[in-house]
Amino acid sequence: MPLLIKTAHDPDPLPLKCKALPRVAIASRASVFFLVSLLVLVSTPDMAFSFTQGDLYRQAKSATVLIVGINDESNALSFGSGVFISEQGLVLTNAHVVEDSTRLYVYIRNQAIDPAAKVLAIDSDLDIAALRVQTDHPVPFLPLAAEIPDEGTPTIAVGYPRVPDVLQMGLTLHASVIPMTITGVAMGRSRTAGLPISFVQTVGMLNAGSSGGPLVHGETGEIAGLVVHTVPYLEPVKNAQGERLGTAMMRAGLSYSIPVSRLRDWLQKNRIPFPAKQMREVLLTPLEKELPTRAFLTTAHLLHMMATVLHQDRNLLDLAVQHYESALQLEPERPDVLRNLGLALAATGQTDRARVIYERAFAHTPSDPVLLKNMGELRYRMRDTQGAAELYRAALRQDACLVSASLGLDTVLQAQDQVEEAKQVLRRAAACPASSSDAAYHVGLALEQQGLGRDALQVWEDYLGQAPSVAVNEQPTLNKIRQRIAQLRAQLTPQDRGFSVAPVASRAQSSVPKDAY
């Protein structure tokens, strides 16, 4: 099972377009063109593929990702694992890791983040989901085995268990590898329909958060299954006198995985292409050495995001600040680290320190629209509405479609009673192509709040027009858009359809994910 943390819907702390952490930054500039090597040792007639245990561990960890889901409706965070099964960024995971999330972040090793992964297909009954991570470069992956390995086969389970606990210790993200042994195939029931299906049973100690990670054949390096269950039990806890104090949940050392045969059948049924190669046919790529600066920055991003949705949790924010500062010790003037550190400091109320850090970042990247927008937010928090407006306008001059800057400027202009200019700002934002259902939804709400019901309808109807290409995880937001359209249409008659309607109560200004667009 994934780890679940109850949250409140608060702004996403970090920009999606980060030069240091591009959508997929698996390779550095120096290694964009992967050096390909085939680890061959032929001692048998069938030219069997041979590699060391170190090769297996490194490849398996590099192909395994951390998936963090945010549910903006039920206010929860979920943590699980997933695995690349193709070099084009196709990821398999459990449905229960992603099915209740409206936003997803995929952390690739501790070196890169994809904030816009798309759910291609999901099956709650079989507990399987497929995601697409956008990448311009091949990613390390593990091929699917042809069949379920025999009993007694050594395997490894790879994933990111107990992530919040690890982060609380001040450590950076790092995948865990647990040796396992297949002990047979057990019958069970499917998750929702209760149909009889089989699972691969293994022995070995797994923890919560391993769901969705791969069960990897220890000899071939191929995926034998997808981890889905661990077996907990309650152990009595007693004091020194033997008196019962309560119970503690323990792990039994048994786990169950979705067999590779079902993964193959499901992918084919959903017409999702995947490599048919076996591991001996896959060319392993020398993996780029993990960069400490990226490790600190990626981990800080995760902590910062968790803190933000948990009502600006101060302990998590302090940990994020520590990781940002560690990254700066390695690269003292790195602009993206400075920008994000300033954002974290501002969230803790350290406005003066945040302003100094922002100014250091501005000296390096004066045209960064996200930095300008963040500086505008800080000025507004410091009650400098004029300075905030100037910075928001500067951000929009660099990126006219940076929706979070438009919404921030709208708030400032309303505070200055410049209502007509605020409306024009929103209309310009509405003219931009919506980057996500969240962006379309919140721009529409802001327009509606200003009494621009017709414009809100136009934004929402235009976005729904492209709904066939929208990912599965955006459906909850699409449903909210449809509800608002129905309510607005009920207010508008054919005669006044071309005119604005009365504003409605909205939390758009306070609940918009500030950097999510």
For residue 95, pLDDT over 90 is answered with: yes
Rg (C-alpha) for the chain, rounded Å, is 25
What is the average pLDDT value for the chain, to the nearest integer? 82
Interval 412-448: pLDDT, tens? 999 999 999 999 999 999 999 888 888 899 999 999 9
Which range (34-38, 95-99, 425-429) has the least confidence? 34-38
In sequence order, which residues have a C-beta less than 8 Å from that of residue 234 and are 6 or more positions away? 247, 248, 249, 250
Q: Do the domain assignments include residue 149?
A: yes
Query: Closest Cα partner for 258 from 195, 199, 183, 335?
Result: 199
pTM: 0.81
Residue 177 lies in a domain: yes
Domain count, the chain: 1
Q: Give the count of beta carbons closer than 10 Å to the beta carbon of residue 287.
A: 17
Q: Count other Cβ atoms within 10 Å, centred on residue 462.
A: 13
Q: By C-alpha distance, which of 208, 224, 228, 209 is closest to 125?
A: 228
- What's the rounded mean pLDDT across residues 328-343? 96
List 178's β-bridge partners, or say none.
157
- Per the structure, the complete domain to which residue 102 belongs is given by 3-281
The phi, psi pair for 231, rounded to 5°, reads -105, 110
Torsion sign (Cα): 162, 220, 283, 285: positive
Amino acid at 504: V
| Burial (0-12, 13-18, 19+ Cβ within 10 Å), 469 | exposed
Q: Is the pLDDT of residue 316 over 50?
A: yes
Dist. CA 76–CA 310, nearest whole Å: 9
Residue 476 maps to a domain: no
Note whether residue 264 is domain-resident: yes
Q: Which two tokens stand for residue 494?
A: 């054919």
Give the bridge partners for 187, in sequence order. Answer: 198
pLDDT confidence of residue 205: 80
The answer to whether 459 and 433 are in contact (CB under 8 A) is no
Amino acid at 391: L
Q: Is residue 26 part of a domain?
A: yes
Question: How many residues are there in the chain?
Answer: 517
List pLDDT tens digits, range 166-219: 888 889 999 999 999 999 999 999 999 999 999 999 998 877 778 899 999 999
d(CA 378, CA 343) in angstroms, rounded, equals 9
d(CA 105, CA 139): 17
Percentage of the chain modeled with pLDDT above 90: 57
Count CB neighbours of 209 within 10 A: 26
- In the predicted model, is pLDDT for residue 394 greater than 60? yes
Rounded CA gap, 347 and 115, in Å? 21
303 belongs to a structural domain: no
Nearest of 150, 152, 144, 140 to residue 216 by alpha carbon = 144
How many other C-beta atoms can be found within 10 angstroms of the C-beta atom of residue 497?
Answer: 13
pLDDT reported for residue 517 = 32
pLDDT score recorded for residue 131: 96
375: in domain: no
Q: For the residues 355-361, what does the mean pLDDT come to?
A: 97
The reply to whether 422 falls in a domain is no
Three-state DSSP at 199 gives: strand
Residues 343 and 374 sit within 8 Å (Cβ to Cβ): yes
Token pair belonging to 272 = 């999702």
Query: Residue 106: is its pLDDT beyond 80?
Result: yes
CA dihedral (253, 4, 58, 156) in degrees, to 10, reads: 20
For 132-146, give the DSSP string. E---SS-----PBPS
Q: What is the pLDDT of residues 39-63, one digit of tens each?
A: 333 333 343 456 788 889 999 999 9
Identify residue 103 by its one-letter amino acid code. R
pLDDT digits 0-9 by tens, 452-486 = 988 999 999 888 887 556 677 777 888 889 999 99
Catalogue the E-assigned strands of 269-394.
none
pLDDT at 510: 33
The enclosing domain of 100 has a CATH number of: 2.40.10.120
Which has the closest alpha carbon to 212: 78, 42, 112? 78
State the Cα–Cα distance between residues 56 and 156, nearest whole angstrom: 9
Phi, psi of 218 (to 5 degrees): -75, -15
